[in-house]
Amino acid sequence: GAVVSQHPSWVICKSGTSVKIECRSLDFQATTMFWYRQFPKQSLMLMATSNEGSKATYEQGVEKDKFLINHASLTLSTLTVTSAHPEDSSFYICSAILGETQYFGPGTRLLVL
Partner 1 sequence: KNEVEQSPQNLTAQEGEFITINCSYSVGISALHWLQQHPGGGIVSLFMLSSGKKKHGRLIATINIQEKHSSLHITASHPRDSAVYICAVRPSGSARQLTFGSGTQLTVLP
**Total interface residues for partner 1 by CB under 8 A:** 20
Q: How far is the CB of 113 from partner 1 (least distance, A)?
A: 20
Q: Where are the beta strands (DSSP E) in 54-106?
A: 57-58, 67-73, 76-81, 90-98, 101-104
Q: Is 34 in the site for partner 1 (CB under 8 A)?
A: yes
Q: Is 106 in the site for partner 1 (CB under 8 A)?
A: yes
Return the residue of 3, 102, 111, 113 that touches partner 1, per CB under 8 A. Answer: 102
CA distance 33 to 100: 14
Residue 51 CB coordination number (10 Å): 15
Q: Is 103 in the site for partner 1 (CB under 8 A)?
A: yes
Q: Is 32 in the site for partner 1 (CB under 8 A)?
A: yes
Question: On the CB side of 27, how many CA atoms lie within 13 Å of its CA?
Answer: 4
Contact predicate 74/29, CB 8 Å: yes
Q: Which residues bind partner 1 (CB under 8 A)?
A: 32, 34, 38, 42-46, 49, 91, 93, 97, 100-104, 106-107, 109
